[in-house]
Amino acid sequence: MRVIAGSCRGRPLRAPAGSATRPTGDRVREAVFDVLGSLTDLEGAAVVDLFAGSGALGIEALSRGAARAVFVERRPDALAAIRSNLAALGLEGRARVVRADALGWVAAPRGTPPGPFDLAFCDPPYDFEAWEALLGPLPAALAVLESSREPDPPPGWEVVRRKRYGGTLVTVVRRPRGVAAGVESPSSS
Taking only the tens place, the pLDDT of each residue in 164-173 is 988 889 999 9
Contact of 38 with 67, CB cutoff 8 Å? no
**What is the pLDDT, as a whole number, of residue 114?**
67
- Correct CATH for 26-143+162-188 of 3.40.50.150, 3.40.50.300, 1.10.10.10, 3.40.50.2300: 3.40.50.150
Whether residue 181 has pLDDT greater than 50: no
Residue-averaged pLDDT of the chain: 87
Query: In this predicted model, what pLDDT tens digit does every residue of 33-63 receive, in sequence order?
Result: 999 998 999 999 999 999 999 999 999 999 9
**What is the pLDDT, as a whole number, of residue 185?**
41
Distance (Å, whole) CA 62 – CA 158: 25
Domain borders along the chain are: 26-143+162-188
**What is the pLDDT, as a whole number, of residue 83?**
97
Rg, Å, the chain Cα set:
15
**What is the pLDDT, as a whole number, of residue 29?**
85
